[in-house]
Structure 1
Amino acid sequence: MVNRNIWQFALLIGAIASLIIVMVVLLQVVLSPYVHGGPARIVATNAGPYPLKVTFYADPASAGYALPFAIQSETRGPLTYDISARPAKGTVGSIVHGDINTKTTNTEGMPGSVNITVRGNWILHIVVAGSAGEGQANIPFRAVAPPAIPSWLAMLIGLLPVYGIVIFLLVQSKRNLQRSAPEHRLSRSLL
């Protein structure tokens, strides 16, 4: 009974640790436009009559992940933005629309993000609309493959079924020993 409680406790700890890891990963994805390191690249451009400063928080971007950025404009008055990432010539991909939070600002401007689907050359296409009309800007950037998983971690993950089989066999052999032990005692007492 004590061994069963130990196993249940170990499984509970494993489940809690897995839940914490999943929550941290999800929070990184959801909060990527807001939580990041310092600016990796700052680009000054004009979208028609609107001067913009676009801050990228990853350069190059990682394919398969969100590219966080911020847009800052010195123009007075309300502006609306339509952000998309377009594959450049030679990159096989589709247009991906980004998100920008116009209600929040940080020191680099309004945070936003766009999910980059494949590696290659991309163009961040910005359409700005305001009192002076509409303007567009294109900023090229590059997306690379995400970093490879370390080989030691890959081996640990790949061998998980082996660990499970070994633990299962150990538990079964211990149960078989416990079941056969009363039979040996009974046969000795009869002799």
Structure 2
Amino acid sequence: MKMKKGGKWQQCLLALSILALIFLLVEIAVSIAATQHGDAPVRVEHVTAGPYRFTVSLYDDPARAGFALPFTIVPQGPVHGTLRYQVTSVPVGTLLPENKVKMEGNRLATLVRDSVSADPQVPGGVQGAAEITVQGLWKLHVLVDGPAGQQAFDVAVTATTLPPIPIWSGWLIGFIPVYGIVVFLLAQMKHKGQRAPLPASRV
């Protein structure tokens, strides 16, 4: 049994739609994975801030600009009382008005208050995701408030960008919706052209 031409166009349109859906799902998966830390940290820093001692674990090093940087902060030694943390992603450079910072290479970035939540596996520890928006040198500024008073410390972070995709590949991916629309319109035109003419009415 021969397949109609219209059926081939519809199959082409379906294939393009599936390709676009796969690309979208991959992008979503990469974004979600970037905010989740794995089993083993990539970099571990031991920090002393006044009477407090902490282990800071980073799950990406260098960080990827435009993606969240997962981290954990774990107190060393027994914790007597409650520890409260405030973490801010601070770009390194010249401070400008409105919390903007001019970084090396004339890149502009802003200070970002990061989200933290209690780590269910570690008493007194927290886990979070630092927002690193621009390529360059950053630091995580951690403010700790506990029974022994308030202390602060910094953890240096370097952010890099992902390798650029080839220009031809970017154009090919970006025009997937256009390809689908063109195929759809051509299929509709062929379908209309193949319609049988209505019989002439008899007088």
Matches of residues 26-41 of structure 1 in structure 2 within 5 Å? 27-28=32-33, 32=35, 34-36=36-38, 38-41=40-43
Superposed CA offset, 1:124-151 (max 9, x none): 1111111111111111111112332355
Equivalent of 1:67 in 62, 66, 69: 69
User: 1:144 & 1:22 partners in 2: Cα distance?
Assistant: 19
- One-letter code aligned to 2:33: Q
The worse-fitting range, judged by mean Cα deviation, of 69-78 and 97-106 is 97-106
Given the superposition, is the C-alpha separation of residues 162 and 96 from structure 1 closer, same or farther in structure 2, using an over 3 Å criterion? Answer: closer
Shift in alpha-carbon separation, 1:157–1:120, aligned structure 2, 3 A: same
The residue that corresponds to 1:43 in the other structure is 45
Say if 1:23 and 1:117 are closer, same or farther in 2 by CA, change over 3 A.
Answer: closer
Q: Secondary structure at the match of 2:74?
A: strand
In structure 1, the residue matched to 2:162 is 146
CA contact (8 A) 2:143 2:150 kept: yes
Indicate the residue corresponding to 2:89 in structure 1: 85
User: Within 1, Cα distance between the matches of 2:133 and 2:28?
Assistant: 23
Greater percentage in helix: 1
- Tell me, in whole angstroms, the C-alpha distance in 1 between the residues paired with 2:191 and 2:49: 73
The answer to whether residue 172 in structure 2 is matched with residue 168 in structure 1 is no
- 2:132, 2:56 → 1: CA distance? 17
CA-to-aligned-CA distance 1:7-52 (integer Å, 9 cap, x gap):
59949x74975775576356436xx2x4436311111111221111
- Map of 2:139 onto structure 1: 123
What is the total number of aligned residue pairs between the two structures?
Answer: 176
Matched, 1:57 2:59: yes
* Alpha carbons of structure 1 residues 165 and 27: separation in structure 2 relative to 1, 3 Å: closer
Distance of aligned partners of 1:102 and 1:37 in 2 relative to their CA distance in 1, 3 Å threshold: closer
Please state how far the C-alpha of 1:170 moved relative to its aligned partner. Answer: 2.9
**Which residue is 1:111 aligned to?**
127
Deviation at 1:118, TM superposition (A): 1.2
User: 1:84 Cα deviation (Å)?
Assistant: 0.6
Which piece of structure 1 moves more, 86-95 or 66-75? Answer: 86-95
Identity rate, percent: 35
- Partners of 1:60 and 1:142 within 8 A in 2: yes
Instruction: List alignment gaps of at least 5 residues for structure 1.
Output: none
Deviating above 6 A after TM superposition, structure 1's stretches of 4 or more consecutive aligned residues are none
Partner of 1:98: 114
